[in-house]
Structure 1
Amino acid sequence: MGTIRVHQLGKAYKQYGNRWSRLAEWLLPGKPRHRLKWVLHDISFQLAPGEAVGIIGINGAGKSTLLKLITGTAQPTTGHVHISGRVAALLELGMGFHPDFTGRQNAYMAGQLLGLTVPEISALMPEIEAFADIGDYIDQPVRVYSSGMQMRLAFSVATARRPDVLIVDEALSVGDAYFQHKSFERIRRFRQDGTTLLIVSHDRAAMQSICDRAILLDGGRLAQQGTPEQVMDYYNALIAEREGSSLAQVVTEGGRVQTTSGSGEATVTAITLEDAQGVPMEVVNVGAAVRLRVKVKVHRPLARLVLGYMIKDRLGMQMFGTNTHHLELPLEGLRAGEEIDYSFHFPLNLGPGSYSVTTALTSSESHLADNYEWRDMAFLFIVMNMNRRNFVGSNWLEPEVEIVR
């Protein structure tokens, strides 16, 4: 079983004022002529055997540098890393591939770097070829490969034998949809068999479906860690906060973490889910006609106001979301003190389970431009199957069936 322990890890690079400073420092070692540029500061965390942890953060937050330190392709300035078990890592696209060698030759070289013997690689080669699915290109030089083909081959080799620890950067994002699906299925199977997983991804759905925990890096520091839903919500709010809004997280009575952010020009004052007669509900039948009612108050004059909502399941997976920008119903020229009553009518074609509603008040299609208010878990409700035929899944899509014999 694989484990990862990261203790007070830090990485700094030397920066010189000009090209002669490096030479002068080498010739006169007693006088430093550089300054340190820290890209990672005091990072500590650990992964238990079989645990899956995702790492997120904006570009430049230090994610790729952290993975390089963990895998040993770069050396830390401070701290240390301990990994137990056989490790497979997918970092930079095509890392270790020689462009003039064929895919087959590179597969042999990459496999030996992973600790496999030549006879073992030969035995695994039919499976590697089948999973990569690049056809005759396997015997062509890698320099003629597309980025997706390089990814297919690299992933196939790295995962030809289940590793104890699998470390994946965002390389999978370059593959086509079919290969991404196939790759994540293999990762899920490895997880079920006990592989410890560390993955960098901005794909919220992938993060929440695969990972037990998430870590947020910001400015080279560990800014947040917790459930994937909690960390992803904080990450979205943190991006908006950079535009001048506030950010807060509170623990609800049910023990879940609720994230709220925004500049406060407008706020949601009430949310209800009502039946066709306008009666508020917290328990709803599958497929029932409902009205989501959201009341908003404007606190300062606004040129434009957009309300959006997102329905998420208990794991934070997004079921459906839209806003009045996409619906072509934005409001313009609002005065301070105005109150607006929004009503959204739709059939609640969700499977049984508990759900939450997230609301966003902005000036456009995204809360990243003007985040007046983002409120996660603003309303909770339960869907029950009271009178429908039995079914499984998160959506009610009952078909009309026609059978011809």
Structure 2
Amino acid sequence: MGSITVSNLSKAYKQYPSRWSRLAEWLSPFNKPRHQLKWVLRDINFTIHPGEAVGIIGINGAGKSTLLKMITGTTQPTTGSVTMTGRVAAMLELGMGFHPEFTGRQNVFMAGQLLGYSVADIHRFMPDIEAFAEIGDYLDQPVRVYSSGMQMRLAFSVATAQRPDILIIDEALSVGDAYFQHKSFARIREFGLQGTTLLIVSHDKAAIQSICNRAILINAGSVIKEGTPEAIMDYYNAMLAERDHEMVRLNITDDGKVQTVSGSGEAMVSDIALLNSSGAKVEVVDVGQAVCLQITVAVHKELPELVLGYMIKDRLGQPVFGINTHHLCQTLSNVSAGESICFKFAFAANLGEGSYSIAVALHTSDTHIGKNYEWRDLALVFNVINMSRKRFVGVAWLSPELEVFR
């Protein structure tokens, strides 16, 4: 079982005003420094316990890749330390350690030895590596003729040929085709169930929420928030839409969940309810039941445009269905301050059994990234039970019609 402890980890790079300043500092090391320090990470602290799966989230340039390089030892920290127990396998950069002029098979032997495998081990693993990578005759061709997806297939197959105690993966999997991504994440989940400690950097919300049980948000070189993947991804989405004069706040709901609310506040949701066919509020609905999502919006400032959207999420926070009035061709224009507007979305709750939440967004254009009046996660929570349908599994009821021919 592997664990990772990161203590007061920081990384700075020297910045010189010119190349001559660098030379002068080298020639006169005892004079005053001629550089400034550019800190890319400051005072990072966290612990990943054996068997835990943790996702690292942050915008480009936040310091995620630098952090992983220090954890794996390919970059040395300026201050702080990293302590790891167990055998580590890492995929940080596409084709890291591959030589373009050598064949894929030759690179497997070189990369495998860098991971600590013996030559005998690699010979034993080779059939499984070939089968999992599925690159056929290209295995005996130079790596320089590989596509980025083929390099990723081979690199992942080598890194996971034997279940490691710790598996660290950067964004490399994002270059693969959909088929191999599914196959790779299935192997990652399997390793997690067997006790492998996972550390994953990804912008793929579904991947983070389906694999990880904790997430860490990094911004501007610092850890700004830790928590459940759903709460951290909600906060991250709100942060992406943050602009001048906008706010991001966290509320604790009655059931202890963290609700993220962001936006300028120029328009806000004043009421939200799920109604049955009789117009009564409900919190529990039957599979396929006709319902109406009623959302009342209070407008606090004159708006040139108003779009309302909602997203239904499952219990892990993964999107099930989302739509907005822009895509329904019913955008409101020239909305006056003081208006109260009621939106009603009628639909059949063709959902599987379980708990669901609804996020609501008020914005312009087709997404909240442009002008965000309000984004509210966990605006409403409801449960679906199966009282009238045949038994089925999954998050969607598709009402199949069966014909059998013999």
Q: TM-score range by the shorter chain?
A: over 0.9
Q: How far does residue 242 in structure 1 lie from its aligned partner after superposition? A: 3.5
* AA of the residue aligned to 1:118: V
The reply on whether 1:29 has 2:29 as its aligned counterpart is yes
- Cα-to-partner distance string for 1:59-108 (whole Å, 9 max, x where unaligned): 00000000000000000001000111110000011111111111000000
- Cα-to-partner distance string for 1:106-143 (whole Å, 9 max, x where unaligned): 00000000110111101111110111111111111111
SS of equivalent residue, structure 1 residue 319: strand
The reply on whether 1:199 has 2:176 as its aligned counterpart is no
Distance across 2 between alignment mates of 1:9 and 1:367: 35
Aligned match of 2:351: 350
Aligned match of 2:10: 10
Aligned match of 2:162: 161
The reply on whether 1:59 has 2:60 as its aligned counterpart is yes
SS of equivalent residue, structure 1 residue 194: coil
Distance across 2 between alignment mates of 1:35 and 1:312: 47
Distance across 2 between alignment mates of 1:143 and 1:209: 34
* AA of the residue aligned to 2:300: H
The reply on whether 1:124 has 2:113 as its aligned counterpart is no
Distance across 2 between alignment mates of 1:196 and 1:111: 20
Distance across 2 between alignment mates of 1:105 and 1:145: 14
Distance across 2 between alignment mates of 1:398 and 1:163: 43
SS of equivalent residue, structure 1 residue 255: coil
Q: Aligned residues, how many?
A: 405
Aligned match of 1:38: 39
SS of equivalent residue, structure 1 residue 321: strand
* AA of the residue aligned to 2:359: T
Aligned match of 2:328: 327
Which stretches of structure 1, 4 residues or more, deviate above 3 A after TM superposition?
A: none
Q: How far does residue 398 in structure 1 lie from its aligned partner after superposition? A: 2.6
TM-score by length of 1: 0.99
* AA of the residue aligned to 2:236: Y
TM-score by length of 2: 0.99
For structure 2, the residue ranges without an aligned partner over 5 or more in a row are: none
Q: How far does residue 354 in structure 1 lie from its aligned partner after superposition? A: 1.4
Alignment of 1:141-180 (within 5 A): 141-180=142-181
Distance across 1 between alignment mates of 2:98 and 2:395: 42
SS of equivalent residue, structure 1 residue 372: strand
- Cα-to-partner distance string for 1:12-56 (whole Å, 9 max, x where unaligned): 000000010111000100121000000000000011111000001
- Cα-to-partner distance string for 1:268-317 (whole Å, 9 max, x where unaligned): 11111111222221111110011111111111111110000011122212
Distance across 2 between alignment mates of 1:128 and 1:315: 32
- Decide which moves more: 121-130 or 384-393: 384-393
Aligned match of 1:228: 229
* AA of the residue aligned to 1:20: W
Q: How far does residue 391 in structure 1 lie from its aligned partner after superposition? A: 1.4
Q: How far does residue 365 in structure 1 lie from its aligned partner after superposition? A: 1.2
SS of equivalent residue, structure 1 residue 163: coil
Distance across 2 between alignment mates of 1:105 and 1:243: 54
Distance across 2 between alignment mates of 1:241 and 1:371: 8
Distance across 1 between alignment mates of 2:243 and 2:131: 46
The reply on whether 1:373 has 2:374 as its aligned counterpart is yes
Distance across 1 between alignment mates of 2:128 and 2:270: 58
Distance across 1 between alignment mates of 2:189 and 2:381: 29
Distance across 2 between alignment mates of 1:157 and 1:69: 22
SS of equivalent residue, structure 1 residue 241: coil
Aligned match of 1:84: 85
Distance across 2 between alignment mates of 1:281 and 1:255: 21
Distance across 1 between alignment mates of 2:29 and 2:194: 53
Alignment of 1:133-144 (within 5 A): 133-144=134-145
Distance across 2 between alignment mates of 1:332 and 1:242: 22
- Decide which moves more: 62-71 or 344-353: 344-353
Distance across 1 between alignment mates of 2:398 and 2:161: 38
For structure 1, the residue ranges without an aligned partner over 5 or more in a row are: none
Distance across 1 between alignment mates of 2:315 and 2:132: 34
Percentage identity across aligned positions? 66
Q: How far does residue 243 in structure 1 lie from its aligned partner after superposition? A: 4.5
Q: How far does residue 377 in structure 1 lie from its aligned partner after superposition? A: 0.6
Distance across 2 between alignment mates of 1:381 and 1:158: 42
- Decide which moves more: 268-277 or 47-56: 268-277
Distance across 2 between alignment mates of 1:223 and 1:240: 17
Distance across 2 between alignment mates of 1:102 and 1:242: 50
- Cα-to-partner distance string for 1:138-165 (whole Å, 9 max, x where unaligned): 1111111110000000000000000000
Distance across 2 between alignment mates of 1:102 and 1:326: 49
